[in-house]
Amino acid sequence: MTKPDIKLKNLFHPGDGRIPPYLAGRTQEKKNFQDSVDLLMQKSPANQNMIIYGPRGNGKTALLRYLQELTLKAGRDELEILWATPSEFKDIVQLVGLIAGNNQNLIKKALNLFEHMFDNLAVSANISMASIQANLNRPKNILAFKDLLWEKAKRKPFILIIDEAHTLNPDIGHVLLNASQNVRAEQCPFFLVLAGTPNLETTLSQASASFWDKSSTFPLGRLSEKDSHKALSIPLESCQVACTEEASMEVMYRAQHYPYFIQIWGSCIANQLIKTDSREVTLETLSKVEDEAITKCSNIYIHRYDELNKMGLVPLATDIGGTFEENDNLPIPIHELEDTVRISLQKQGEPTTHEAIQENMRKLIHVGYIWRISAPNEMVKEVPLLCYEPGIPSLMKFVRGQRIPKAEMDVILERSQNQAKG
């Protein structure tokens, strides 16, 4: 394989949290992060903590990995970034252990600060092994945690990134969120960044009532049309590959501006180009890769479908999919979609109270089935319309596709039985 082909082969990065070859869009998020880093470099705290939330596959992890890499390159040794997910710290002691790292001075400080938690355990330098007392002494922990953050950040400005933060344990969240607000108020050069799926708001509100409102929040939806094109064309151009206008439009139509799908299509296209030793993407290239791309994109649907099924949401999700299909998948104002939910619940013999409707919509938002946006309002320009749009594109089509009417199913079964008979 020649050198340009090797670059092409590994060009696109479909998968969890991988930094894409070109991270398209997300201008406001990048700017907010950069502004906070600039403040930290001057030994000041970030103006606000940062929260990024959105349906799966929209690029929360990729964006933060990109920002982390960029910051470390530019800031070199002048600041420290810790990346963690809640699965790495089951209790506050483990989080303290992660923050202290293998800095012996900090470990000693942490042991002093959290002395009240270690009971009579023989505490070693490996503090993550210590078990937490069942009854958390919250105010004491917040104070101790705050002091630990100060100890850490006074050595080097400190950025703590917690991905998958919607899985944060509320007890740990309570200590972390409150302590982080307190240190920032005391001018500590600290910056907390949280990312998670749309239920992050609920998780954080359980941990600290005011945290969400006091943070800079960034909903991460799909890419704009312009940015989607860039996500495909810029990496291809870097390998001297041209993409015809119609081919690019077709990929965008298929990927529906969903970053994860753009990477899938990009990698299938790149492999095809290598196979045919070509440097141009045309509609014919796409016809050769479409089966593979569709199969790869479908894997995400199966997982989401199982999730909906577990929550008993398939019938409602099917009806909502129907409403969007009738509306050409365009955004639907909130109250209109609530009508669909009401009718669907009624059909299923479920309660149709305001609370029941809201609860069901909340669950659908959490799994990324629907996603709230504010759409431009043609009638009153200064009042944008709150609407819902499909969260993960084509998932609705997939869900609806699983509900084949009985009569059609009988025909399919009969046909396959006849085929089996010969």
Ligand X SMILES: Nc1ncnc2c1ncn2[C@@H]1O[C@H](COP(=O)(O)OP(=O)(O)OP(=O)(O)O)[C@@H](O)[C@H]1O
Binding site for ligand X (CB under 6 A): 13-18, 20, 23-26, 54, 56-62, 197, 231, 259-260, 262-263
Q: Which is nearer to ligand X, 25 or 157 (CB)?
A: 25
CB of 32 to ligand X, least distance (A): 15
Q: Are 136 and 169 a contacting pair, CB within 8 Å?
A: no
CA 403 to chain centre: 28
The residue sitting closest to ligand X, measured at its beta carbon, is 59
Question: Could you tell me the smallest distance in angstroms from the CB atom of residue 148 to ligand X?
Answer: 28
Helix (H, G, I), strand (E, B) or coil at 90: coil
Residue 333 pairs with which residues in a beta bridge? 387
One DSSP character per residue, 91-156 reads SHHHHHHHHHTT-HHHHHHHHHHTGGGSTT----S-GGGSPPPSS--HHHHHHHHHHHHHHHHHHS
In three-state secondary structure terms, 243 is: strand
Q: C-alpha 47: how far from its chain's center?
A: 23
Q: What is the 3-state secondary structure (H, E, C) of 299-358?
A: HHHHHHHHHHHHCCCHHHHHHHHHHHHHCCCCCEEHHHHHHHHHHHHHHCCCCCCHHHHH
Minimum CB separation from ligand X for residue 230, in Å? 8
- Phi and psi at 198, nearest 5°, equal -60, -20
3-state secondary structure of 280: strand
Q: Toward ligand X, which CB reaches closer, 224 or 358?
A: 224
Strands (E), 187-337: 190-196, 216-219, 242-243, 280-281, 332-333
Q: Which is nearer to ligand X, 113 or 223 (CB)?
A: 223
For Mg ion, the closer CB: 161 or 207:
161
Q: Are 304 and 368 in contact (CB under 8 A)?
A: yes
CB hemisphere CA count around 105 (13 angstroms): 4
Instruction: Pick the closer one to Mg ion by CB: 60 or 184.
Output: 60
Listed ranges 11-19, 172-180, 204-212, 333-341: which one lies at the site for Mg ion (CB under 5 A): 11-19
Q: Which of 36, 49, 61, 141 binds Mg ion (CB under 5 A)?
A: 61
Determine the interface stretch with Mg ion among 54-62, 88-96, 378-386, 406-414 (rule: CB under 5 A).
54-62
**Among ligand X, Mg ion, none, residue 14 binds (CB under 5-8 Å by kind):** ligand X
What's the closest the beta carbon of residue 163 comes to Mg ion, in angstroms? Answer: 6
| Nearer of residues 61 and 178 to Mg ion, judged by Cβ | 61
List the single partner that 255 binds among ligand X, Mg ion, none, CB under 5 to 8 Å by kind. none
The mark string for 16-45 relative to Mg ion (x by CB under 5 A, - otherwise) is: -x----------------------------
* Nearer to ligand X among residue 61 and residue 178 (C-beta): 61
Residue 86 binds which one of Mg ion, ligand X, none, with CB within 5 to 8 A depending on kind? none
Query: Taking the complex as a whole, how short is the minimal distance between the CB of residue 414 and ligand X, in angstroms?
Result: 40
Question: Could you say whether residue 58 binds Mg ion (CB under 5 A)?
Answer: no
Q: Which of 235, 195, 221 is nearest to 17 (CA)?
A: 195
The CB-of-19 to ligand X minimum distance in angstroms stands at: 6
- Of all residues in this chain, which one has the CB nearest to Mg ion in the complex? 61
Q: Are 322 and 413 in contact (CB under 8 A)?
A: no
Give the nearest distance from C-beta 91 to ligand X in angstroms: 23
Which residues fall within 8 angstroms of residue 196, CB to CB, at 6 or more apart?
A: 52, 53, 60, 163, 164, 165, 166, 167, 168, 203
Least spacing, CB of residue 10 vs ligand X, in Å = 13
Residues that bind Mg ion (CB under 5 A): 17, 60-61
